[in-house]
Amino acid sequence: MFRPYMLVAALAITLTACTSDDDAVKEATPMAKEPVAMAREHGAESGELCLDAGPQTPRDISSALGLDPDTFERAPAATELNLCNIHTHTNAEHKGPGFSVFVNNTDQGGYACNETADLTDAELAPLAGAYKGVKPGDTIEVHWVHTSCPITPGEGLGACLTETCTNPDLRVEAQAFLVVNDPDAADFMDFSYGDTVRNGFHQAKAIPTGTGDPIEFLGSSTGPSYDQSNCSPLEVTWNVRPMCMKLDLASLHRWAESGNVFNETKSHGVRQLVTAPEILAPIE
């Protein structure tokens, strides 16, 4: 059930989270506690779960378990919606078959691609540039946010609605990338916006393929301002690809230097994994 009275507040929280200074990405700590254990400390057993907010995100996409009874209609396909925003999170917010290495439980934590430890010295060579909060060897999760509102793509989730379209269908296409210093890796500019319009809808130039069939589920918005006791009320249909793809860091720098319409020049923090089944939708 959509909660319109909470939309403005939710957008304000999300926009604040997406504009916070997340440049200093912390190293993984060997004593970091897995989210499943964390959930037992401040989850269902403590009675602090926000059970009235609807199903939450991010999640382990390898598990279909979900007990949240609050459902809503799935958003149309991304090709039938307007792209409204593109942004990145340093480390994957979701956990998946190809990104299952737990980093830590901070706002700069999340999950890393499984191939991280196998990168070469050349792929890990430092590369300075305009896009901040990412270095070679980092994992990022990219979100292409789509809306049913008649909008022009722009900055933050506020670009996804208008004064007369306050209850949109929202769909996020998500892909985890392993960032490397390698011009032969994927070019982020191929997945940018570039004023692309198809069949009357604003669209990305392309959405990554070849990284497995996307896992679709009902959830919410993400970002470090939320956790299992402070949930997002936004209703989002997610498509998360299960495997990583290598991405050339230089292409992210070019995206920032291009003056992208989203005003994205740095990667953002993560919301820790939602593990309590009570606030997860089942994956069908």
Residue 89 near residue 140, CB atoms below 8 Å: yes
* 3-state SS assignment for residue 89: strand
Dist. CA 57–CA 55, nearest whole Å: 7
Q: Report whether pLDDT(43) > 50.
A: no
pLDDT at 203: 98
- Residue found by looking up tokens 């509102």 in the block: 149
Least confident of 18-32, 102-116, 132-146, 167-181: 18-32
pLDDT at 39 over 90: no
pLDDT 10s digits, 2-37: 444 344 445 543 444 444 333 333 333 333 444 444
- CA dist 201 and 69 (Å) reads 32
pTM of the predicted model, to two decimals?
0.86
pLDDT digits (tens, 9 = 90+) for 120-161: 999 999 999 999 999 999 999 999 999 999 999 999 999 999
Q: What is the DSSP letter of 145?
A: E
Residue 1: band (very low, low, confident or very high) from pLDDT cuts 50, 70, 90: very low
Vertex 17: Cα angle to 12 and 23 (nearest 5): 150
Q: What is the pLDDT of residue 271?
A: 97
Nearest partner of 145 among 112, 172, 178, judged by Cα:
172
Distance of alpha carbon 43 from alpha carbon 36, whole angstroms: 10
What's the chain's average pLDDT? 88
Give percent of the chain with pLDDT exceeding 90.
83
Question: Are 82 and 202 a contacting pair, CB within 8 Å?
Answer: yes
Q: In this predicted model, which residue has the larger pLDDT, 203 or 108?
A: 203
CA distance 177 to 98: 10
Q: Please state whether beta strands 170-180 and 236-240 pair in parallel, antiparallel, or not at all (unpaired).
A: parallel
The mean pLDDT of 67-84, rounded to a whole number, is 97
Tokens 């997340």, residue?
A: 22
DSSP string, 175-231: EEEEEES-TTSB-GGGGS-TT-EETTEE--S----SS-PPEEEEE---STT--SSS-
* Residue whose pair of structure tokens reads 């990219």 in the numeric block: 142
Q: What is the mean pLDDT of residues 187-214?
A: 98
